[in-house]
């Protein structure tokens, strides 16, 4: 899968680290995690990430100091994670030059959206235009556009997200639960049949435009996107 950027995650809570890593990797970022300030500075020098997700409340060297040192050495983007009680830290962090902050507890989808927004806003040449190119369709996440040759396939926003999720995992099966979690997240108030309806609509639209069945049903498991040159 193509990588759209590299992210260094600095967070000492393993559960948060894991969620953040999973969500960022799922949209195509290369992710490295560390749990303290000195390691963060060392890895930042080594990997030159596009963005650092930085928890302010770290053992040893605190996040503000880490942010300040990162800033001395590079213009890497910094997204701070703060607790609700750390307002003074947040202000200090933004003064030092952090690009944005999220207050815990946060939704991982929100974090991904913020990361993408920072990278897109500040350095458009780095993140886009990125497209997922398959033999019969080309998917542009930034513009939410899907094309079959020159023809634009008209999808609703949810249909687009369903397709993008499947295409990002091309050749692999996603269960209905995985699709619900990744496309709708906590905003899902239906049952599994809703997923079948959306997938069915996307499949028909792709079939109409390409003459190919690009989304396969894997009985009893879920769905899989397969687009191979014939």
Residues in touch with Ca ion (CB under 5 A): 12, 55, 57
- Beta strand 51-55 pairing with 5-10: parallel
Q: Give whichever of 55 and 99 is closer to Ca ion, judged by the CB atom.
A: 55
CB of 57 to Ca ion, least distance (A): 4
Q: Is the bond into 105 cis (omega within 30 degrees of 0)?
A: yes
Rounded Cα gap, residues 11 and 18, in angstroms: 10
Rounded Cα gap, residues 173 and 73, in angstroms: 43
CB of 17 to Ca ion, least distance (A): 10
CB of 6 to Ca ion, least distance (A): 22
Q: Give whichever of 57 and 178 is closer to Ca ion, judged by the CB atom.
A: 57
Which H or E run contains 225?
strand 222-225
Rounded Cα gap, residues 122 and 150, in angstroms: 30
3-class DSSP state for residue 87? helix
3-class DSSP state for residue 10? strand
Q: Give whichever of 57 and 158 is closer to Ca ion, judged by the CB atom.
A: 57
CB of 76 to Ca ion, least distance (A): 20
Q: Give whichever of 98 and 153 is closer to Ca ion, judged by the CB atom.
A: 98
Q: Give whichever of 12 and 196 is closer to Ca ion, judged by the CB atom.
A: 12
CB of 145 to Ca ion, least distance (A): 39
Which H or E run contains 117?
helix 108-122
From residue 188, alpha-carbon distances to 108, 185, 221 in Å are 15, 6, 20
């Amino acid at each position: 899968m193509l990588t759209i950027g590299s992210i260094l995650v600095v967070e000492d809570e393993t559960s948060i680290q894991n969620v953040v890593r999973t969500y960022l990797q799922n949209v195509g970022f290369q992710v490295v995690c560390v749990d303290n300030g000195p390691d963060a500075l060392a890895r930042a020098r080594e990997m030159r990430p596009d963005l650092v997700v930085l928890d302010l409340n770290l053992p040893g060297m605190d996040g503000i100091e880490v942010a300040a040192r990162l800033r001395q050495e590079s213009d890497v983007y910094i997204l701070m994670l703060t607790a609700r009680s750390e307002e003074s830290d947040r202000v200090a962090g933004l003064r030092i030059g952090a690009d944005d902050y999220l207050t815990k507890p946060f939704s991982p989808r929100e974090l991904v959206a913020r990361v993408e927004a920072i990278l897109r806003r500040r350095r458009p040449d780095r993140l886009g235009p990125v497209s997922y190119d398959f033999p019969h369709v080309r998917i542009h996440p930034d513009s939410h556009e899907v094309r079959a040759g020159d023809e634009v396939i008209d999808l609703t926003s949810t249909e687009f997200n369903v397709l993008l999720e499947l295409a990002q995992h091309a050749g692999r099966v996603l269960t209905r639960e995985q699709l619900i979690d990744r496309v709708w997240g906590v905003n899902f108030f239906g049952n599994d049949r809703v997923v079948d309806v959306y997938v069915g609509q996307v499949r028909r639209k792709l079939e109409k435009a390409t003459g190919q069945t690009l989304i396969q049903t894997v009985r009893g498991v879920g769905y899989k996107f397969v687009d191979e040159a014939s």
